[in-house]
Amino acid sequence: MCGIIGYVGSENALPIIVKGLKKLEYRGYDSAGIALFGAAGFDVVKQKGTLSALEERLAGSTLSSFMGIGHTRWATHGEPSDINSHPHVGSKGRIAVVHNGIIENYRQLRERLTKRGIDFVSQTDSEVIPQLAEYYYDGDMLDTVVKVTNALGGSYALGFMCVDEPGTLIAVKKDNPLIIGVSEHGNFIASDVPAVLRHTNKVYYLDDAEIAVLTKDGVRFYNQDKDPVTKTPETVTWSVDSAEKGGWPHFMLKEIMEQPKIMRDTIRAAAEQAYLPNPGAAAGGLDVANFDKLVITACGSAYNAGVVAKYVFERLCRIPVEVELASEFRYKDPIVDERTLVILVSQSGETADTIAAMREAKSKGAVTLSIVNVVGSTISKEADHCLMTLAGPEIAVATTKAFSAQLVVLYTLAVGFAVRLGKLTPEQGQGMLEEIESLPEKTETILEQVDAIQKYASECIVYKSIFFIGRNIDYAIAMEGSLKLKEISYIHSEAYAGGELKHGTISLVEENTLVVAIGGCERLHGKIMSNIEQVISRGAKVLFIGNSREDDMGGKLSFVAIPKVNELFSPSLSVIVLQLFSYYVAANKGLDIDKPRNLAKSVTVE
Ligand code: M6R
């Protein structure tokens, strides 16, 4: 969590840093701050609250500098407050630092430095970094950064400025993302590409332990022995507009509406990477015939995509699939070996638990395949094989388009695997691929129903709790519907397998409980309708998302139609309704949809 940015160049750093922070705000929004290199030390402005509070503090500011660093915080150690905000400056006022990550040995370091007479002012783990840097500094900042990083335990992406080395910005990282952007007018460090996109699309992806030394004229890279390292910049294909709201009230709505396009782009690429010319051969020549089982591991919505995919892989490929929360997988001593394919699903490619799960799987000899949206991210680089989702930058904390892109990659892969394993003929595989290719157009017809969904959702803000039910693959997507609703609307919700209701949960259903029932699975239509009757007869109201309905059950059943498609791919259609429903419930409650409380988009700490 937390977003960091730094700039050194020929333009005024202040507006560049503030605008860059806006693009990183999805990473944390408890507080924000900047430090500019000034004539007499650093000019530091820090403010509790969202970035707009910092902007208000800075309104009319005449501050100006050729170099500065900025930070937007998701608090881990120490409450959100002005003093705990970054940048942190050592007590001599010589070194300023922004940090994303967690310093696990900060107590020991703090105790050691305190014994040497150094006074700490904040409750954060991060403050030990500038204090330690000032303690070590003897005229060579590169050397100081090496010493500091040798002393730090935990994870970090760091930006340093030193009063004694004007015009030099230093960056280093371990287990947290950091990119270096190079432009005509100056150079950048940033947690993510959108922060620099309006200035450049040329970026370097910093690797762990590499140190970048930036001046206005260029960037040099070093290893921990201070030997120069040669790196090649990459060209980012994301457009500037893709990271802008472009007239939409929220990024989430914009991203929901972008789904037909990103599905088309991703299906095309996935078909090329994972289907044609060799079905089932993902980048690098992966062969599914080498595996006895698949394990899919991920967090949050990416985990839900994995649960959907389990149904698809098992049905089409007849191969056992386990789906594990990455935070559990990493500590369970998982039973995987070289005959296991472990699939990591992640939008950011930087989720700490998913990275740890990947490393655990690799250490046990499993083959890893990642499905990732962010180019150059840790998971995309470290996994043995990688398939990219082409969702473009996703800014809203609640994922929508990246989730949809993950689903279509997983479907395409499953069809490819099934053909490779001889469970589908090439003709059947082609037919399945055509079904997947029909999803973007069918999604468009759902998006046309936005007004009706909005109207229905506006009446649902009164509920304290909402249940989501489905059977089989519809249960998997019910989990995503429930997560989406709770994270942005703060309404309690749970997802249940329809058949499980009678084993306990139905006791929660009472007069006017709302149950959202999903029925994309035509084969089980009768079963979900029975569940609907059961809850309605106990007083519930139901929103049914399916292909058809017989009657409105005395006005108790509302209905949103989704087009027919092979049931294995129907989650891609039901989820669009679920996303719009959640969005409009939250919008009607007047909530800050793109930045839900307590959450950050990219969970780079444990
Ligand atoms: O970047 P990742 O896909 O690895 O992130 C995983 C989860 O943190 C993420 O899906 C989270 O659950 C979203 N906020 C859900 O909308």
For 1, 91, 207, 456, the CA distances from 153, given in Å and listed in that order, are 17, 22, 17, 51
Mean per-residue pLDDT, 283-300: 89
Ligand 1 atom at minimal distance to the Cα of residue 301: 10
Q: How far, in Å, is the centroid of ligand 1 from the Cα of 397?
A: 8
Residue ID of nearest Cα to ligand 1 atom 12: 300
CB 254 within 8 A of CB 379: no
Per-position DSSP letters for 429-485, written without gaps between them: HHHHHHHHHTHHHHHHHHHTTHHHHHHHHHTTTT-SEEEEEESTHHHHHHHHHHHHH
Residue 76 to residue 50: CA distance in whole angstroms? 16
Span 517-566, pLDDT tens digits: 999 888 899 899 999 999 999 899 999 999 988 788 888 899 999 999 99
Residue 514 pLDDT: 95
Residue 173 to residue 171: CA distance in whole angstroms? 7
Ligand 1 atom at minimal distance to the Cα of residue 300: 12
pLDDT band at 276 (very low <50, low <70, confident <90, very high): low
Tokens of 338: 């070289």
Q: How far, in Å, is the centroid of ligand 1 from the Cα of 303?
A: 8
Tokens of 46: 């820090």
Residue 74 pLDDT: 83
Residue ID of nearest Cα to ligand 1 atom 16: 398
Candidates 2, 162, 299, 460; catalytic one: 2
Whole-prediction pTM: 0.86
Residue ID of nearest Cα to ligand 1 atom 9: 300
For residue 158, the cross-strand partners are: 99, 172
Residue 298 confidence (pLDDT) above 90: yes
DSSP state of 309: H
Burial letters for 63-82: b for 16+ Cβ neighbours within 10 Å, e otherwise?
Answer: eebbbbbbbbbbbbebeebe
Span 205-238, pLDDT tens digits: 999 999 999 999 999 999 999 999 999 999 998 8
Q: How far, in Å, is the centroid of ligand 1 from the Cα of 325?
A: 12
Q: How far, in Å, is the centroid of ligand 1 from the Cα of 454?
A: 25
Q: Which residues line ligand 1 (CB under 6 A)?
A: 299-302, 346-348, 351, 354, 397-399, 483, 487, 602-603
Residue 6 pLDDT: 98
Residue 2 to residue 277: CA distance in whole angstroms? 42
Top mutation candidate among 175, 327, 351 for ligand 1, by most atoms within 8 Å of CB: 351
Dihedral sign for Cα 25, 84, 146, 10, please. positive
Tokens of 513: 């409980």
**Pairing between strand 169-174 and 340-346?**
unpaired
Active site residue 2: yes
Active site residue 601: yes
Residue 594 to residue 591: CA distance in whole angstroms? 9
Q: What are phi and psi of 433, to 5 degrees?
A: -60, -40
Candidates 46, 173, 595, 601; catalytic one: 601
Span 462-521, pLDDT tens digits: 998 899 999 999 999 999 999 999 999 999 999 999 998 889 888 888 888 899 999 988
Query: Which residue pairs from 179-182 have beta carbons closer than 8 angstroms and sit at least 24 positions apart in sequence?
Result: 179/203, 179/204, 179/205, 179/206, 179/376, 180/204, 180/206, 180/212, 180/214, 180/219, 182/218, 182/219, 182/233
Top mutation candidate among 1, 299, 477 for ligand 1, by most atoms within 8 Å of CB: 299
Q: How far, in Å, is the centroid of ligand 1 from the Cα of 349?
A: 10
Q: How far, in Å, is the centroid of ligand 1 from the Cα of 366?
A: 24
> Average pLDDT of the chain?
93
Ligand 1 atom at minimal distance to the Cα of residue 399: 16
Residue 575 to residue 403: CA distance in whole angstroms? 9
81 Cβ neighbours under 8 A, 6+ residues apart:
31, 48
Residue 451 confidence (pLDDT) above 90: yes
Residue 386 to residue 62: CA distance in whole angstroms? 47
Ligand 1 atom at minimal distance to the Cα of residue 374: 1
Residues in the chain, how many?
A: 606
60 Cβ neighbours under 8 A, 6+ residues apart:
none
Q: How far, in Å, is the centroid of ligand 1 from the Cα of 601?
A: 7
Ligand 1 atom at minimal distance to the Cα of residue 400: 16
AA identity, residue 394 = E
Top mutation candidate among 325, 480, 603 for ligand 1, by most atoms within 8 Å of CB: 603
**Pairing between strand 234-235 and 202-205?**
antiparallel
Mean per-residue pLDDT, 112-131: 95
Helices 439-447, 426-437: inter-axial angle, 10-degree rounding: 20
Q: How far, in Å, is the centroid of ligand 1 from the Cα of 346?
A: 7
Within 75-203, where are the H helices? Answer: 106-115, 128-136, 141-151
Ligand 1 atom at minimal distance to the Cα of residue 599: 14
AA identity, residue 352 = A
Span 417-439, pLDDT tens digits: 999 999 999 999 999 999 999 99
**Nearest by Cα to 444 from 563, 567, 570:** 563
Helix (H, G, I), strand (E, B) or coil at 125: coil
